[in-house]
Structure 1
Amino acid sequence: MAESTAQLLYVGGMQSSSGKSTCCLAILSFLLEHGYSPSDLAYIKPVTQCESLQPVTQFCHTHGIRHIDAGPVVFRSGVTYKFIEDNDPEAGKKRIERVVKAVHALAKGKKFVLVDGIGYASVGSNGSVSNAQIAKALNAPVLLVGKTGVGDAIDSMNLSRIYFHHYGCDVVGAIFSKVKLDCPRHTYDNCKKFVSMYFEKGHEDGAAEERKEPPLKVFGFVPTNKDLVREVEESCALMYPNDEIEGCCSRDDFEVSEEDKEWNRKAVKHFEEFIDFQALFGALKVDLK
């Protein structure tokens, strides 16, 4: 299948529930507000182990944005054992090929496609289908969603970006999400100040000069918000109807409650307050109106 001309953006994180999908929701909303129509956009989570309905899926459903919320690779119970026992590199290549095929099919006729990652950088590596391997196969720039804190935020971000760089990925920058406001050790202002200060400079990893990490663009620090705390039950290994793209699932057989719509509006407003989306899309060379 020919590669799509749509702009892709791969959103990766440091861990599960890091705020990646909510960040995707906010990005889609921002694009709708700046000259893009729903038919210009698409969203896909090509590898997942959680099949619970996510707010970004609700947002896409509400606004008529084409979306694939699970697949073509779903990590069901016992799949890791199978990957390791089979030890089949060709099977790993085929999984990557299925993801690339699904993304390009979804991207046909679109201008911007968000690819939502799973967990941290190397999740899926036991099946040769890690975030970094997928991003490289798609030739997609990567936006990383980091942690709260200072030392842990920096160290985990370095670990993740080096893994993506190892596979030849372009890490366009980072957003730090769920930054704690009530942490007795690091205030929000200090998290923002010192993490930004660190990444504004390039830093050597101590191995060799050629391994020096370049400065990393930081597009914002999103604090926790008590109004956005919600428990999303993660259900795994559930079956629901297949989308017309082979091996993928897209749910549209549900209603979005007014409560959920209000939550989505609050999430978008909160992210837009703390993220410099103009700088992000400038780095991607994406035209906005």
Structure 2
Amino acid sequence: MSLNSAMYRSRVHLYLHLAPSIICEAQSSIDPASPSRSLSSTATETIRHQRPIYVAATKQHVGKTSVSLALVSHFTKRFGPENVGYMKAVGQQCLRVWEENEGDETSEEKGHYVTIDKDVKLIRDHFRLKHLKFADMSPVLIPRGYTKSYLDGEIDHQSQMADIRRAYLNIVRSTSEYDQMGVRSNNSITICEGTGHAGVGSVVGAGNARVAAELGADVVLVANGGLGKAYDELELNRSLCLQYGVNIAGVIINKVQPEKYDQTRNYLTKAIQSMWKGPNGEPAPPLLGVVPDRPYLGCPALADVESTFDSVLLSGSDHRYRHYDVGSNVQGRSIGMSMVTTDLAAFLRTLQRQHEGARTMFICHSTRDDVILGFLGEYRRRARRGMPFESALVICTGGDDGLDELGENSELAPEVCEMIMDAGPSGPPVLVAAGRSPAEAAKEIRTMTPKFNANDERRVSRATEHYEPYIDFDLLLDRTSSVTDIGRADGAIA
């Protein structure tokens, strides 16, 4: 049996298992003797069968989560939060959360801890999808050592895929509504977010394309802006979708330079329409959206810097989700990061010349006690005058640029550390980048890819507000659903 045939049979099996069981379950609660179930009428009703939407990408860091946020945001407003499901079938970055045992009268425990992918908590908390269980939203996690255990035969592939299917069915049941006659609502939808490109997870038999096929999902491919490179990456991922018999609902191009917006839309549409037609003349998938770049969404918050350096703010923790533009001075953007190499007087002049509300991330070495104390002093001077102070300071303890290790003197002096901590949570943001030189720290900050955080409400809201206007949701629904006329008798299934 060919791989495509096997995947097709898997998808058909899932459909046959899912739709009838859910509908029959709902019908079983209705009095079979009710006259409203008479099938004598020839009235019909059109219902929409919505397939799950699987958001995949051509590589890491191209905007899967941003697109998923936009989809969940739109559909919760369109259908209601209770009719929207979300899952990340295969996750990598994990955290522990508390799961309430709601509705489980057999359990004496109020809840239990579960380990989930971090994006699951972000989506569930932000959109208040309380009808979904954390465990169903994140059925498979791949922590360190998982791949070796899988290849050693300690993890069963069939059990792993069964966990994904079971979790998906639970989500569908949680988001499905029925009318009084037991007919399933047309207004439920499930968004599945992938991990990396279409092949990520293949080494453990759980690549994105394969999981999408198991769920009978239609894929939305997300790629970064450009022409040749974007199309090449899309083509590579499309081939894997074709291998598993997965339908591509459409393409979303992300982070497009505003001045190249029309060019990107026009030429990628031409490329896809001319080269992605089906073997029997089936139309190629459409561009569902072209999203212009917004630099703010790429600006790291202090929480991102903490994560990068595996550190915590010594002071200023109240400002953990304050964002800093650390990019180059292009398109009118100010330079938001500066390594301090001057004497104290010059550094203080720089601080005092900053306009109110200016945000600069300064970087210095731990041996520069004068700079550290000058930074704290300028904060206190402005605080006394009621003036805002939003700059941050990163203190590096690694070998200075071009020099050998500095030995014991590279550590931050305890007395200085105490003075920093005395500023408290509302003070100026200061953290330590252990083992890095100022140049190394600056490079890591400039090249990091900021990630969404469940507590960073501002970035999450800004992302959804930015993406939604550029995505054709009506076309997406048209591409991921089928319409069927069913016979009804006074509202009953024929």
Which structure shows the bigger proportion of residues in strand conformation? 2
When structure 1 is superposed on structure 2, of 265-274 and 118-127 the one drifting more is 265-274
Give the counterpart of 1:3 among 7, 18, 23: 18
Counterpart AA for 1:24: S
Question: Which structure has the higher relative contact order (CA within 8 Å, separation 6+)?
Answer: 1
Name the residue aligned to 1:114: 191
SS of the equivalent of 1:122 reads: coil
Name the residue aligned to 2:256: 179
Name the residue aligned to 1:37: 80
Name the residue aligned to 2:384: none
Name the residue aligned to 1:62: 126
Counterpart AA for 2:190: V
1:1-289 → structure 2 map (5 Å cutoff): 2-3=17-18, 7-34=51-78, 36-51=79-94, 57-65=121-129, 66=132, 68=134, 71-84=138-151, 86=152, 91-110=156-175, 111-181=188-258, 187-203=260-276, 215-231=284-300, 232=304, 233=307, 260-285=456-481
Relative to structure 1, is the Cα distance of residues 203 and 141 closer, same or farther in structure 2, using a 3 angstrom cutoff? closer
Contact 1:25/1:56 (8 A) holds in 2: no
Counterpart AA for 2:171: L
Counterpart AA for 1:46: A
C-alpha RMSD of the superposition: 3.1
Identical positions, percent? 24
When structure 1 is superposed on structure 2, of 156-165 and 1-10 the one drifting more is 1-10
Q: TM-score, normalised by structure 2?
A: 0.47
Structure 2, unmatched stretches of 5+, are 1-13, 23-49, 96-116, 176-187, 310-452, 484-494
Relative to structure 1, is the Cα distance of residues 54 and 105 closer, same or farther in structure 2, using a 3 angstrom cutoff? same
Distance (Å, rounded) in 2 between the aligned partners of 1:18 and 1:67: 28
Relative to structure 1, is the Cα distance of residues 58 and 91 closer, same or farther in structure 2, using a 3 angstrom cutoff? closer
Shift in Å at residue 172 of structure 1? Answer: 0.8
Contact 2:222/2:252 (8 A) holds in 1: yes
Distance (Å, rounded) in 2 between the aligned partners of 1:210 and 1:62: 43
The CA deviation string for residues 85-125 of structure 1, in whole angstroms up to 9 with x for no partner, is x268x822221111111111122131211111110111111
Contact 2:213/2:246 (8 A) holds in 1: yes
Relative to structure 1, is the Cα distance of residues 72 and 58 closer, same or farther in structure 2, using a 3 angstrom cutoff? closer
Counterpart AA for 1:75: I
Relative to structure 1, is the Cα distance of residues 96 and 173 closer, same or farther in structure 2, using a 3 angstrom cutoff? same
Decide which structure has the larger Cα Rg and report it: 2
SS of the equivalent of 2:18 reads: coil
SS of the equivalent of 1:192 reads: helix
Distance (Å, rounded) in 1 between the aligned partners of 2:276 and 2:170: 39
Counterpart AA for 1:92: H
Distance (Å, rounded) in 2 between the aligned partners of 1:106 and 1:225: 33
Contact 1:179/1:224 (8 A) holds in 2: yes
Relative to structure 1, is the Cα distance of residues 198 and 262 closer, same or farther in structure 2, using a 3 angstrom cutoff? same
Relative to structure 1, is the Cα distance of residues 276 and 234 closer, same or farther in structure 2, using a 3 angstrom cutoff? farther
Relative to structure 1, is the Cα distance of residues 87 and 60 closer, same or farther in structure 2, using a 3 angstrom cutoff? closer
Counterpart AA for 1:216: P
Shift in Å at residue 59 of structure 1? Answer: 4.5
Distance (Å, rounded) in 2 between the aligned partners of 1:266 and 1:55: 17
Q: TM-score, normalised by structure 1?
A: 0.77
Distance (Å, rounded) in 2 between the aligned partners of 1:28 and 1:268: 9
Distance (Å, rounded) in 2 between the aligned partners of 1:91 and 1:213: 38
The CA deviation string for residues 7-41 of structure 1, in whole angstroms up to 9 with x for no partner, is 4111111112221111111111111232x111111
Structure 1, unmatched stretches of 5+, are 236-254
Shift in Å at residue 79 of structure 1? Answer: 2.4
Counterpart AA for 2:239: I
Shift in Å at residue 210 of structure 1? Answer: 5.0
Contact 2:51/2:481 (8 A) holds in 1: no
Relative to structure 1, is the Cα distance of residues 164 and 117 closer, same or farther in structure 2, using a 3 angstrom cutoff? same
SS of the equivalent of 2:477 reads: helix
Distance (Å, rounded) in 2 between the aligned partners of 1:268 and 1:234: 25
Contact 1:141/1:169 (8 A) holds in 2: yes
Shift in Å at residue 234 of structure 1? Answer: 8.3
Aligned positions, number = 255
Shift in Å at residue 213 of structure 1? Answer: 8.8
SS of the equivalent of 1:118 reads: strand
Counterpart AA for 2:74: F
